[in-house]
C-alpha cells in the first residue's frame, strides 16, 4: 500500500489514499474524486485494504434458494424486465400451497435460507404474507426467511392500514427473520421519478429499513447503477446508507446491482463495462466503511466477473441460488440458469487466493474450507 503512495502524482488522491490506509472515513467529495480521477490499480489496492481490515482473507457464501411468488406488480419501473400485468399469459401468482411446495423441494438439502421477493401484487395484504410465513416456519422452523423488499412492505402496510412499526412487528411474530435490500434503486428523487415513477420514495425505503433495524430485523442494501445516474448520484446514495448505518448498525451487506438492458423500456442505454463495474465495487468498499460486507451477486455478474470483483473489495458471493430466480436472467444476466453447488463456490474462491467461509444469513461462520 505504501508503495502506491509514492507513485501518486495527484496530491488530493494521495491524501485520500493515506486516509484509507489509516482507517479514516472519506467524505463525499473525496468519494467523487476517486470515481473521477483514481486509476483501477490504486482503487483495487485501497479496496483490498478495507476488505482485509474488516474480513481478513475470508470470502463468504451461504446455501440458499429463492422464491418469487408473483411477477404481477403495481409498479411499472422502466428498467424492469420481470413485471407483467395480471392478464399477461406469462404472469404468475403462486398460492401459499404452491410456494410451500417449492420449499418442500429442498427438504433433503442443507439449505439455510429462503429468499422471498417478487412483484408488488395489487390484491395481497399483510394477511397473505403472514399466512405464508407461518406455513413455511411450521414446515421447516430452522429455515431463515429473508423476505419482502421495502417496496413490497410499503405496499402491504398501506393496504393493511398499518404503520411500518406495527407491520414489521406482526411479520416478525409470524416468522420473518430479515429483509432483502431491493427497491432502493438510486435515491436521487429526479432520477427516481424518471426510471420508477410512483415507486416507494427513498425516504420511505430508508424509514422502513430503520424501523426494521429497531425491531431487531437485519437487512441488506442495494444500489442500481449504470443507467441514467452519474457518479454524484451514486455517492449521495451511499452517503444516505452510511448515515443510516451509523444510526442503526442493522445492515449486513451492500449489493451494487448493475442495470441490464434486455427486454425493458430502457434497452437503448448501453450497459457499463467490466472495468466500470470493478471501479464501482472498489469505491463502494472504500466509501462504506461501516458496512462489513460488499456482495458480488454472481447470477448478475457471471462467474468470471465475480472472480475479478474479489480483487476490488467484495467479500461475499451470495449463495448457491439453486436456479430459483428469474429477475436478472430475464433482463439479460450472464447466468441464465443460476445455480452453483458449494464445491463450485469453494473452488472459485480458493482459485483467487481467498479462504471460503460458509455462513448463515446473519454472517455467523458455519465452516471454513
User: Is residue 218 within a helix (H) or strand (E), and if so which, with residue range?
Assistant: strand 218-225
- Position 326 scores a pLDDT of 53
- Position 338 scores a pLDDT of 53
Judge whether 312 and 286 are in contact, CB under 8 Å. no
The three-class DSSP label of residue 227 is coil
Indicate the pairing of strand 218-225 with strand 251-258. parallel
By the 10 Å C-beta count (0-12 exposed, 13-18 middle, 19+ buried), 40 is classed as: middle
Cβ neighbors of 198 (< 8 A, separation 6 or more) are 75, 76
Which cell numbers in the block locate residue 353? 487466493
Tell me which long-range contacts 72-77 makes (C-beta under 8 A, separation of at least 24). Answer: 72/119, 72/121, 72/122, 73/118, 73/119, 73/120, 73/121, 74/119, 74/120, 74/121, 74/122, 74/155, 75/119, 75/120, 75/151, 75/196, 75/198, 75/199, 76/197, 76/198, 77/185, 77/195, 77/196, 77/199
- Position 27 scores a pLDDT of 99
Domain ranges of the chain: 59-368
Distance from C-alpha of 179 to C-alpha of 118, rounded to nearest angstrom: 13
Per residue in 81-129, pLDDT tens?
888 999 999 999 999 999 999 999 999 999 999 999 999 999 999 999 9
- Position 331 scores a pLDDT of 44
- Position 278 scores a pLDDT of 98
185: phi > 0 → left, psi -120 to 50 → alpha, else beta; which?
A: left
Distance from C-alpha of 250 to C-alpha of 363, rounded to nearest angstrom: 12
- Position 328 scores a pLDDT of 45
Distances (CA, A) of 188 to 1, 175, 192, 233, 261: 34, 33, 6, 6, 21
Q: State whether the Cα torsion 316-82-241-36 is positive or negative.
A: positive
- Position 63 scores a pLDDT of 94
- Divide the 369 residues of the chain into consecutive groups of 10 and give the mean pLDDT of each group: 71 96 98 98 97 98 94 93 90 97 95 96 97 99 98 98 98 99 98 97 99 99 98 99 99 97 88 97 99 93 93 94 54 55 92 97 97
Judge whether 42 and 279 are in contact, CB under 8 Å. no
Q: CATH for 59-368? A: 3.20.20.70
By the 10 Å C-beta count (0-12 exposed, 13-18 middle, 19+ buried), 184 is classed as: buried
264: phi > 0 → left, psi -120 to 50 → alpha, else beta; which?
A: beta
- Position 323 scores a pLDDT of 54
By the 10 Å C-beta count (0-12 exposed, 13-18 middle, 19+ buried), 172 is classed as: middle
- Position 174 scores a pLDDT of 99
Amino acid at each position: 500500500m505504501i508503495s502506491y503512495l509514492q507513485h501518486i502524482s495527484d496530491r488530493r488522491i494521495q491524501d485520500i489514499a493515506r486516509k484509507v490506509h489509516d482507517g479514516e472515513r472519506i467524505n463525499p467529495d473525496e468519494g467523487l474524486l476517486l470515481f473521477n480521477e483514481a486509476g483501477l490499480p490504486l482503487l483495487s489496492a485501497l479496496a483490498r485494504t478495507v476488505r482485509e481490515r474488516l474480513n481478513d482473507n475470508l470470502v463468504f457464501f451461504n446455501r440458499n434458494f429463492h422464491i418469487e411468488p408473483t411477477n404481477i406488480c403495481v409498479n411499472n419501473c422502466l428498467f424492469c424486465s420481470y413485471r407483467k400485468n395480471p392478464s399477461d399469459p406469462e404472469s404468475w401468482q403462486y398460492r401459499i400451497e404452491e410456494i410451500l411446495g417449492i420449499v418442500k423441494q429442498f427438504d433433503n438439502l442443507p439449505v439455510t435460507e429462503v429468499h422471498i421477493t417478487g412483484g408488488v401484487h395489487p390484491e395481497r395484504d399483510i394477511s397473505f404474507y403472514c399466512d405464508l410465513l407461518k406455513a413455511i416456519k411450521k414446515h421447516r422452523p430452522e429455515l431463515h426467511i429473508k423476505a419482502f423488499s421495502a417496496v413490497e412492505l410499503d405496499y402491504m402496510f398501506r393496504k393493511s392500514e398499518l404503520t411500518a412499526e406495527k407491520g414489521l412487528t406482526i411479520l416478525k411474530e409470524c416468522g420473518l427473520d430479515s429483509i432483502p435490500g431491493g427497491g432502493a434503486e438510486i435515491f436521487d428523487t429526479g432520477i427516481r421519478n424518471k426510471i420508477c415513477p410512483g415507486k416507494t420514495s427513498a425516504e420511505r425505503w430508508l424509514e422502513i429499513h430503520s424501523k426494521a433495524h429497531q425491531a431487531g430485523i437485519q437487512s441488506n442494501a442495494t444500489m442500481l447503477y449504470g443507467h441514467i445516474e452519474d457518479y454524484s448520484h451514486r455517492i449521495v446514495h451511499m452517503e444516505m446508507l452510511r448515515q443510516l448505518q451509523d444510526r442503526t448498525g442493522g445492515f449486513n451487506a451492500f449489493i451494487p446491482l448493475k442495470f441490464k438492458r434486455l427486454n425493458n423500456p430502457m434497452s437503448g442505454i448501453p450497459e457499463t463495462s467490466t472495468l466500470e463495474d470493478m471501479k464501482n465495487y472498489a469505491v463502494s468498499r472504500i466509501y462504506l466503511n461501516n458496512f462489513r460486507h460488499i456482495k458480488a451477486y454472481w447470477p448478475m455478474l457471471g462467474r468470471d466477473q465475480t472472480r475479478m470483483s474479489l480483487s476490488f473489495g467484495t467479500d461475499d458471493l451470495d449463495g448457491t441460488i439453486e436456479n430459483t430466480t428469474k429477475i436478472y436472467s430475464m433482463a439479460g444476466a450472464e447466468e441464465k440458469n443460476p445455480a452453483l453447488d458449494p464445491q463450485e463456490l469453494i473452488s472459485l474462491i480458493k482459485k483467487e487466493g481467498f479462504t471460503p467461509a460458509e455462513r448463515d444469513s446473519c454472517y455467523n461462520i458455519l465452516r471454513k474450507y
